[in-house]
A and B are shown apart, each in its own frame.
Chain A
Amino acid sequence: MKQRIYMDHTAGMPVDPSVIEAMLPYYTEKYGNPSSLHSWGNEARKALEDSRAKIVDLIGAKKPEEIFFTSGGTESNNTAIKGVTKRNKDRGNHIVTTSIEHMSIINPCKSLMKQGFEVTFVPVDRYGVVDLQALENAITDKTTLVSVAYANGEIGTIQPIKEISEIIHHKGASFHVDAVAACGQIPINVQTESIDLMSVSSNDMYGPRGVGALYVRTGTRIEPITQGGGQERGLRSGTENIPAIVGMGKAAEIAKAEMKNESERLVELRDRLVKGVLNSVPASFLNGHPTKRLPNNANLRFSYIEGESLILSLDKQGIACSSGSACTSKTLEPSHVLLAIGLKHEDAHGSLLFTLGRRNTQEDVDYVVMALPDIVKRLRAISPLTPKEMLQ
């Protein structure tokens, strides 16, 4: 039988079967609305608060009231960026973020720029680590919010969050962290790391899609970005998606319990994959930081060829991954993250992103390492950029 190997977990993850089991009763039996006063309402309300407690537990929040459920990472990021800056308009109109943030940070910032806000995009070094001096210099007395992702979902680089929060709080701005890629994989503690707001997503930790959360430290000035019935203490109106929230809570509980063992296992697989490919494919490179990177992330670059053609070829062998190539995006531009770490356009086009998951095994990694050299060789033989000596 043909092998099928999924290494595209950043794009989508399977939902843990025990998560689905936890969710199902809330569709068919316990379908009450948490705002209702009767026993169905009580049941739903209890489920909502149990899940909230599990998120508190995963990220080290102080109180359950600091967790607000949303529809996912994008909504959490939009709420943080727009909600904090608009609420603090009287104090300033400046946002500081980085050049490698997710589109759900960059595009709300761009939208605010059209409304008179100013945004500074701080550069990163060649590994994707934020330039701390540039960050410090960018913050002015008009800066109300600084937003930096905990780890980059594309190149895997983990930021020195504690150092960043010290710089920011010294200057008096609020600190938002997009932890969608990192949360559930590596330990995060919003209290010890002095994070004011943090976005997390359910599917990125084996929970259902369409649900996420925003942590907002008590005392942080923020306003809602949508208006309605006042659920989630007025910050996020709309009837709570109880089954999904229950699923996210369960997923958070499992992620916390398994984090240590699973991250050690993934780091081993990741390094085996990186080493195996770099050793067997000439002119191949690792994008992102060699050690300060997410356990599941291997972003590799192959000179002289293009990522989409690599993905199509790997797919034929049953291997699924992503690419930073323009040809796999909706914009025709290569990944802004790869350009920000200083890659040339043609090198950014030739990058592949493997993101490992719970079901991946050492056999999977070895299969990829075995399949990749021939695929690269074939595409290089077609490419006019390949040096002649490489083809001999």
Chain B
Amino acid sequence: MYTDKVLDHFRNPRNVGEIPDADGVGTVGNPVCGDLMSIYIKVKDNRIEDIKFKTFGCGAAIATSSMITELAKGKTLDEAMKISRGDVASSLDGLPPIKMHCSNLAADGLHAAIQDYLKKKGAQK
């Protein structure tokens, strides 16, 4: 059902955890649906310097969270905003069709974290 890459990221997730002094936090999903994901980012010079996640959910939800942290780390905010759900899925060599909608939330989580950062930054000015 799952590709080897999905299983690898599920079993050895990269960048698990929280960033206590995160510059932006994005939480998407809902425990009622079985998937809830929080993405924490640290931003320096308009780049994502550090990124961590915490996820409640199925194998695909955990693997996509892990993958988005790898895809986004070191990217500029503009580049990171362009990472799509499709990019995440293809970086994992694909997801089962039924998981494409429900569990492929990681890109949304990343975008929400960036928007949170931009909002906070705007408020500081």
Question: How far apart sit A309 and B62, CA to CA, in the bound complex (Å)?
Answer: 8
Partner of B34, one of A325, A330, A381: A325
What range describes how many residues of A lie at the interface?
20 to 34
How many whole Å from B84's CB to the nearest CB in chain A?
A: 22
Say if the beta carbon of A30 comes within 8 Å of chain B: no
Partner of A316, one of B11, B54, B60: B11
**Interface stretch of the complex, out of A87-95, A97-105, A382-390:** A382-390
Partner of A330, one of B13, B37, B98, B99: B98
Say if the beta carbon of A345 comes within 8 Å of chain B: yes
How many whole Å from A327's CB to the nearest CB in chain B?
A: 4
Question: How far apart sit A307 and B35, CA to CA, in the bound complex (Å)?
Answer: 11
List B residues 55-91 near A (Cβ within 8 Å).
55-62
Task: List, in ascending order, chain B residues with CB within 8 A of A316's CB.
Answer: 11
List A residues 292-314 near B (Cβ within 8 Å).
304-309, 312-313
Known contacts A309-B59, A327-B103, A330-B98; A345 and B32 CB within 8 A of each other: yes
How many whole Å from B19's CB to the nearest CB in chain A?
A: 13
Question: How far apart sit A384 and B38, CA to CA, in the bound complex (Å)?
Answer: 7
Cβ–Cβ contact A384 & B34, under 8 A: no
Question: How far apart sit A344 and B30, CA to CA, in the bound complex (Å)?
Answer: 12
Question: How far apart sit A313 and B59, CA to CA, in the bound complex (Å)?
Answer: 9
Known contacts A332-B98, A346-B32; A384 and B58 CB within 8 A of each other: no
Say if the beta carbon of B117 comes within 8 Å of chain A: no
Partner of A384, one of B33, B37, B59, B60: B37
Say if the beta carbon of A34 comes within 8 Å of chain B: no
Task: List, in ascending order, chain B residues with CB within 8 A of A309's CB.
Answer: 10, 57-59, 61-62
Q: Would you call the interface of chain A mostly helix, strand, loop, or mixed? A: helix
Task: List, in ascending order, chain B residues with CB within 8 A of A383's CB.
Answer: 54-56
Say if the beta carbon of A349 comes within 8 Å of chain B: yes
Say if the beta carbon of B16 comes within 8 Å of chain A: yes
Cβ–Cβ contact A381 & B33, under 8 A: no
Cβ–Cβ contact B33 & A306, under 8 A: no
Question: How far apart sit A214 and B36, CA to CA, in the bound complex (Å)?
Answer: 44
Closest A residue to B38 by beta carbon equals A384
Question: How far apart sit A143 and B33, CA to CA, in the bound complex (Å)?
Answer: 36
Say if the beta carbon of A326 comes within 8 Å of chain B: yes
Taken residue by residue from 370 to 390, chain A's Cβ proximity to chain B (1 for < 8 Å, 0 otherwise) reads as 000000000001111100000
Question: How far apart sit A330 and B35, CA to CA, in the bound complex (Å)?
Answer: 16
Question: How far apart sit A381 and B17, CA to CA, in the bound complex (Å)?
Answer: 8
Partner of B58, one of A304, A306, A344: A306
Say if the beta carbon of B7 comes within 8 Å of chain A: yes
Known contacts A305-B56, A346-B32; A382 and B62 CB within 8 A of each other: yes
Task: List, in ascending order, chain A residues with CB within 8 A of B118's CB.
Answer: none
List A residues 316-344 near B (Cβ within 8 Å).
316, 325-327, 330, 332, 334, 344
Question: How far apart sit A42 and B11, CA to CA, in the bound complex (Å)?
Answer: 59
Taken residue by residue from 174 to 206, chain A's Cβ proximity to chain B (1 for < 8 Å, 0 otherwise) reads as 000000000000000000000000000000000
Task: List, in ascending order, chain A residues with CB within 8 A of B38's CB.
Answer: 384
Known contacts A309-B10, A312-B10, A330-B98; A385 and B31 CB within 8 A of each other: yes
Cβ–Cβ contact B59 & A308, under 8 A: yes
How many whole Å from A26's CB to the nearest CB in chain B?
A: 36
Closest B residue to A316 by beta carbon equals B11
Partner of B7, one of A312, A325, A349: A312
Cβ–Cβ contact A382 & B34, under 8 A: no
How many whole Å from B1's CB to the nearest CB in chain A?
A: 9
Closest B residue to A380 by beta carbon equals B56
Task: List, in ascending order, chain A residues with CB within 8 A of B104's CB.
Answer: none
Closest B residue to A305 by beta carbon equals B56
Closest B residue to A311 by beta carbon equals B59
Given contacts A383-B54, A384-B36, 13 further A-B contacts (CB under 8 A): A304-B56, A306-B35, A306-B56, A308-B58, A308-B59, A325-B34, A327-B103, A332-B34, A345-B33, A346-B31, A346-B32, A346-B34, A384-B37
Nearest 6 CB-CB pairings of A with B = A327-B58, A346-B31, A308-B58, A384-B54, A345-B32, A383-B56
A-B contact pairs, 29 of them (CB 8 A): A306-B35, A306-B61, A307-B58, A309-B61, A309-B62, A312-B10, A312-B59, A316-B11, A325-B58, A326-B34, A326-B102, A327-B60, A327-B99, A327-B103, A332-B33, A345-B31, A345-B32, A345-B33, A346-B34, A382-B16, A382-B54, A382-B55, A382-B62, A383-B54, A384-B27, A384-B36, A384-B37, A384-B55, A385-B36
